[in-house]
Structure 1
């Protein structure tokens, strides 16, 4: 009997402040080890970086909150510096719009960071993986997904097959 799609579904979750995926480096941490295991051992085919509305980590960055008394948090959030700089280059009408923009830019930045991990880069090169960037709206339950072809976020409900990076073309986001 053939296995159903549900039988083949593998879910491996990393949850942390700011949905951060640090770039691969000489001293890999727990996120790097988890990425490597998920991709190289478990053979995960789809990676989802999922941000969410009203994210406390992104809110702290957006408001330039002083984190002097939280040095570990401040150091961790530096992995979102690319998103912070890009978001600051845009103008927003409201603080809420600025935060929403940062959440989306951070998803894009973390997808780029993911691609620096050797196991992820190899799986993408070999066409064994897709990358997805999602933003979950806590209030409505809706999910917007990054369309890598247009670099815009679209409703996942209306575009269920959209991907940020497709294994067939390994395009840039």
Structure 2
């Protein structure tokens, strides 16, 4: 706690004081560029990763960057998505998974989560991810390779779940919102984005602009 308190004092004395006019403008309202959905993992900092300032990202963090299909859970996830699309008018939605994801590891390992009933229930929204990996890729036996594959497949599954949300379906249908699937590697700092053209995750810097629209899966990548 002391580290947090010290950080607040440093922010107030040095950061806020030197950029007071910027922070005062933030009080007038927000106009974020994108909705950034990622895992709750403490090792991920969306603003640090994307080098964005306060007010530029609308951030939703949940275990395993899992987005339940619309209607499955009437909770904060659906409300956040709806608000970002319908009120804030974000132009892009990014679902960003990450390497060494504990939630995906628990899904693969069949971890005993009876003492964590809320976690166990929430991870059921990634059951499709588990089935895809175990049934379609039985030849992949290396644990690290299987975890990486699971992380990527989960991003795609959650993008499809995202499409079930009415606000997202309507906005993408009008061409007002684009969906992106990313995976961030903790140990290298690299970001891989799903390419609809190749059907694979590719280094973000290797992808060109703009991207082609994939009408089959509605998955877009920068």
Change (3 A) 1:54 1:96: same
Q: Residues 84 and 102 of structure 1 are in contact (CA less than 8 Å); yes or no, is this contact kept in structure 2?
A: yes
1:103 aligned residue: 151
Instruction: Please report how far the alpha carbon of residue 28 of structure 1 lies from its aligned counterpart in structure 2 after TM superposition.
Output: 1.8
Instruction: Please report how far the alpha carbon of residue 23 of structure 1 lies from its aligned counterpart in structure 2 after TM superposition.
Output: 0.3
Instruction: Please report how far the alpha carbon of residue 71 of structure 1 lies from its aligned counterpart in structure 2 after TM superposition.
Output: 0.7
Q: Residues 69 and 161 of structure 2 are in contact (CA less than 8 Å); yes or no, is this contact kept in structure 1?
A: yes
Deviations 1:29-60 (A, max 9, x none): 10000000000000011000000000010011
The number of residues matched between the two structures is: 164
1:15 aligned residue: 61
Separation (CA, whole Å) in 2 of partners of 1:69 and 1:109: 26
- TM-score, length-scaled by structure 1: 0.88
Q: Residues 156 and 162 of structure 1 are in contact (CA less than 8 Å); yes or no, is this contact kept in structure 2?
A: no
Unaligned runs of 5+ in 1: 1-6
Change (3 A) 1:171 1:129: farther
Instruction: Please report how far the alpha carbon of residue 148 of structure 1 lies from its aligned counterpart in structure 2 after TM superposition.
Output: 1.7
Greater RCO between the two (CA within 8 Å, min separation 6)?
1
Unaligned runs of 5+ in 2: 1-30, 34-55
Separation (CA, whole Å) in 1 of partners of 2:98 and 2:209: 20
Change (3 A) 1:34 1:143: same
Instruction: Please report how far the alpha carbon of residue 8 of structure 1 lies from its aligned counterpart in structure 2 after TM superposition.
Output: 7.1
Q: Structure 1 segments of 4 or more deviating over 2 A?
A: 7-10, 160-163
Separation (CA, whole Å) in 2 of partners of 1:128 and 1:119: 11
- TM-score, length-scaled by structure 2: 0.69
Instruction: Please report how far the alpha carbon of residue 16 of structure 1 lies from its aligned counterpart in structure 2 after TM superposition.
Output: 1.1
Q: 1:123 aligns with which of 171, 181, 184?
A: 171
Instruction: Please report how far the alpha carbon of residue 161 of structure 1 lies from its aligned counterpart in structure 2 after TM superposition.
Output: 3.4
